[in-house]
Structure 1
């Protein structure tokens, strides 16, 4: 095994292998799982590895019989480790998405990382990949989970993205998990804070020329008793081939967060305005506690969340949309109405849609 630590542009030789299931975008996206998965003992990595279920922690096994060297690149020097350390770190599956499988790994020093094992065939060639990771890795903001490193293995299925592990649950779980109900309903003030935090994090990304590209409640983590926001999975479309980007956008469409202009494009690419659209849908979810994928029945027939909110607003009964856990009383009714209006502006046609700076200013002007 090679040893030592190198920063972008230099390499750390190591051989790494592990098991990572291919995923289908129609599967539960980034939902937590209760068991880890491990490749058969002693088996080399394969495009279709066999898995066994286990309740014990697994490891991201080093296995390189031919000593082909992989490369571990670090974004900065604030956290350094070897590929061998990573490979022996206890790990567990956190979830799966259109990008691949997400693990939590604990290093020897106790530092916890998320390891996103990217699916075969989705990523760009090495030179482009490295350039884009460097740009994504330069992002540092209190509401954005920092990227730490990436591993480029000798085989196509060995492409790993490493970021800090955040102790917190997703906005999706806080809004929708009911069996069992582990979370108290978020108050309106807490929901408004979440909206403001997400808007400010998006504005930070957009100011640096980076659309998030995959904005949805499963990629919004809430941390601590103050529900501080941490955005994850930002900018990953920049690492993808056109086929990978198309699959990510298709997944967003299935979940209800895809902007209409992406659906009608022959070669859709994430954009700032598409982020604003997805954010508008999230605002509606915060206010209604209904999922973007819900089909809602009414006098006009079955409609999705965005059409339902638009219809209620057009008929002058926007407050009928509001989650009953926060709708009682007049205390925040104007603020709720103001936030609902912001959400509706976010889903306007692309040429009428505001940019995220305007949206952020509108949200910050709402008082409770």
Structure 2
């Protein structure tokens, strides 16, 4: 286990990076309302393009009702991303995976000017700095000051409007300051106090809870090769956070029901775990992420693990992570088809003290279409 003490270049690195071909701002929140209502949400703002100008933009978010349960997912893209996908990125992808019939079918629809359901067009996009404000259609993420971690989030969705304020409990943590893992530079702020309100058909509710923020940027082409990842952002009730991740390649296709399809991730590699304790981050590659239970999506036919054991002896943690409910699959435009992005519960043991630990968090599983031989046609418009 090693301790990372590199400094972030804030406010420079809080702002957009035009030289990157891929950049995103990501946050989640797990919230409580009145009368026992419980919510979760995830939002990710992507910026894509080889040149400093003419970037394409992609917005995904989920609105989750944990006490019902209910899962609403949205996927929006603008015209510049459409042109880049059809003119460059998808043709490059087919050089690596020419037999992907699903994506070829979707590409044909895009060339006809059709946007497959449930994806939608997005207008009124802008990204600015000093301070950083990201506006993608009906969603807005805004920092009061690039030198601080405080930010606000607003989403105007057909199902309701949500407005949240994120106040950091901990400072930024550098996750990858060299782009050594996948070409992306990466920092997080792993615990926020979140407050705000939601307005929907049931009324107007005040919300409080806990949140997480990630910012990544750099030059990356792994998606063109069909590579994916498993990511865990976990907040423990004792004040610690655990970020665990592993990458996987598509070179071991699996059919649903095969002995290894519970994992569904081909050849996992580059697993690591980072524990945030107070204002220090400790990292180790001595981590085992083992799937325990799977779920098959009726919409896509893809199989995802929905329960895991994460054992990180160097960090003195042995955890079980379970989906709050399995149906948290999010449609994604392009070869990914979908990701599993969901709220989870955490339980386990502190191996140092022997005491029980618990918590909550989010899990993201991407690239599962590339490692499962699941024939499917994209939905018609």
Greater strand fraction, Structure 1 or Structure 2? 2
Q: TM-score of the superposition, structure 1-length normalised? A: 0.26
Q: TM-score of the superposition, structure 2-length normalised? A: 0.26
Structure number with higher relative contact order (C-alpha < 8 Å, ≥ 6 residues apart)? 2
Greater helix fraction, Structure 1 or Structure 2? 1
Structure number with larger C-alpha Rg: 1
